Amino acid sequence: MRQGIGSAVESKPAKRYNLGLTGLPLAQRPGINLPTPENLDRVAADAAAKRSRTAAEVTPQEFGQHFGIPREFALFIQRLESRTLEMERDNKDLRERVAKLERPAHMRDLETRG
């Protein structure tokens, strides 16, 4: 009688394996994450950091696949976003500079409205 592939292995009785204790507490074993407040906060912070990536930090392929758009359009959006962020930073800087300026000498005696 012909034996099939693996039949010799299957005909032998299964061995019992006793791995015993690993010696580490449950919380320190690799791959086990207990739902403690610290772990939950850490996992939530990691997830928020992953979600808050800007379009410039994502590859154009990944960005395009996520929204179902071509790679060239994803590149255009990334450039547009980086330019917008740069303009917002410049605008904020200019507003801070204007707020710090003192009124010119010839306008110090004038009344200000409202």
* DSSP-derived 3-state class of residue 68: coil
d(CA 81, CA 17): 57
Cα–Cα distance, 35 to 52 (Å, whole number): 24
pLDDT digits (tens, 9 = 90+) for 62-86: 888 888 999 999 899 889 988 999 9
Burial of 75 (0-12, 13-18, 19+ CB in 10 A): middle
pLDDT in the model for residue 5:
55
- Is the model more confident about 81 or about 114? 81
In angstroms, the CA 108 to CA 114 distance is 16
Higher pLDDT, 22 or 88: 88
Q: 26-41: per-residue pLDDT in tens?
A: 667 777 777 778 878 8
Q: Higher model confidence: residue 88 or residue 5? A: 88
Q: How many percent of the chain have pLDDT more than 70? A: 72
What are the extents of the domains in the chain? 55-101
